[in-house]
């Protein structure tokens, strides 16, 4: 059993309501910080609708784009223009139209050796440390204002897969993951649990009936990566009614 003590589950109606609720959290976090803001995005299909609505006038006009920096919590180790690339998806959905290029911080994948994700991990670790201004994370000064997350069918989050040694990494900020546990089966780069935890808020987005089985296991406290990921501040799970287990009010 794992206790994810500070998890706050927020049920929402459907994927559209989920995207709206997530956009509200993005704006709320931005409004808490009058200075430089760091948001860590996630990949997969769940955040796509959020990213798309952030580019619409109603949301776009509420974001001080010059002050917001966009990072990514994990990456498939494929070229930046590969359709599988997580930051590529976010760029297409909203960043390239809205954010200054210097504020977009992708995990580097342009290497001659596509089997060496540690290469990208080491570079991204340095990038994050330089942005943060130190190579040790201070609980009193979180790295990110907001970290977005998703959940895979095996309980993974970011690219932290069940029983993978990356879960136990405490020194490195970013690691290479040679083998993914689920599709797409390409090497990954992922921020480690302690790096992801260094945030004011961690926000999970989970939707669809095919997530209900894994959510049932997670909410029962099973020792799975998504249950080990929590913010040093607030941890919020936005879950739509198709994904929500019946015990928690799902239909
Ligand atoms: C990735 C992710 C991963 C994702 C979950 C959920 O690169 O695949 O970052 O952790 O968030 O697998 O993915 P879906 O949103 O597609 O269900």
Tens digit of pLDDT for each residue in 50-100?
Answer: 999 999 999 999 999 999 999 999 999 999 999 999 999 999 999 999 999
Nearest CA to 49 out of 207, 165, 219, 169 is that of: 207
Q: Which atom of ligand 1 is nearest to the CA of 157?
A: 10
Tokens (6 digits) for 206: 């989970």
Give the pair of three-digit tokens for residue 236.
């919020």
pLDDT tens, residue by residue, 142-183: 999 999 999 999 999 999 999 999 999 999 999 999 999 999
Which DSSP letter does residue 204 get?
Answer: E
Residue 157 near ligand 1, beta carbon < 6 Å: yes
Taking residues 26-30, report their average pLDDT.
Answer: 98
41, 44, 153, 160, best to mutate for ligand 1 pocket (most atoms within 8 Å of CB): 44
Task: Tell me if 182 sits within 8 A of 156, measured CB to CB.
Answer: yes
- Please give the biggest Cα pair distance in the chain: 50
- List, in order, residues 6 or more apart from 76 with CB less than 8 Å away: 43, 82, 84, 85, 86, 180, 184, 186, 187, 188
Give distance in angstroms: CA of 227 to centre of ligand 1.
15
Q: Give me the chain's average pLDDT, please.
A: 96
The pLDDT of 178-200, averaged and rounded, is 97
- Check pLDDT > 80 for residue 8: yes
**Which pLDDT band, with edges at 50, 70 and 90, does 113 fall under?**
confident
How far, in Å, CA of 183 to CA of 196, rounded? Answer: 22
Q: Which of 109, 111, 29, 108 is nearest to 69 (CA)?
A: 29
Sign of the CA dihedral with 121 first, then 123, 124, and 128 last: positive
Q: Measure 129 CA to ligand 1 centroid, in angstroms.
A: 25
Total residue length of the chain: 251
- CA proximity to 77, closest of 68, 61, 88: 88
Q: How far apart are the first and last CA of the chain?
A: 26
**Residue 67: is it exposed, middle or buried by C-beta count within 10 angstroms (0-12/13-18/19+)?**
middle
Other beta carbons within 10 angstroms of residue 78's beta carbon come to 18
Does the C-beta of 44 come closer than 6 Å to ligand 1? yes
In DSSP terms, which residues pair with 39 in a beta bridge? 70, 146
pLDDT at 3 over 60: no
Q: Which atom of ligand 1 is nearest to the CA of 156?
A: 10
CB of 42 sitting under 6 A from ligand 1? yes
């Amino acid at each position: 059993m794992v206790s994810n003590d500070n998890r706050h589950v927020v049920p929402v109606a459907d994927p559209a309501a989920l995207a709206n609720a997530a956009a509200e959290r993005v704006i709320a976090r931005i409004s808490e910080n009058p200075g430089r803001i760091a948001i860590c995005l996630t990949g997969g299909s769940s955040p796509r609708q959020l990213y798309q609505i952030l580019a619409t006038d109603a949301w776009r006009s509420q974001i001080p784009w010059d002050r917001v920096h966009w990072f990514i919590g994990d990456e498939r180790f494929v070229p930046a223009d590969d359709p599988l690339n997580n930051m590529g998806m976010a760029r297409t959905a909203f960043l390239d139209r809205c954010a200054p290029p210097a504020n977009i911080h992708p995990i580097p994948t342009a290497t001659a050796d596509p089997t060496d994700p540690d290469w990208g991990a080491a570079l991204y670790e340095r990038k994050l440390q330089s942005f943060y201004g130190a190579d040790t994370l201070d609980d009193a000064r979180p790295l990110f204002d907001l970290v977005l997350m998703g959940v895979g069918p095996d309980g993974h989050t970011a690219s932290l897969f069940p029983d993978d040694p990356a879960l136990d990494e405490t020194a490195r900020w970013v690691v290479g993951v040679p083998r993914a546990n689920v599709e797409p089966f390409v090497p990954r780069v992922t921020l480690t649990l302690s790096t992801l935890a260094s945030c004011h808020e961690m926000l999970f987005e989970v939707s669809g009936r095919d997530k209900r089985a894994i959510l049932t296991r997670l909410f029962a406290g099973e020792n799975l990566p998504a249950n080990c990921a929590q913010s040093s501040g607030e941890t919020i799970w936005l879950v739509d009614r198709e994904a929500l287990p019946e015990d928690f009010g799902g239909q």
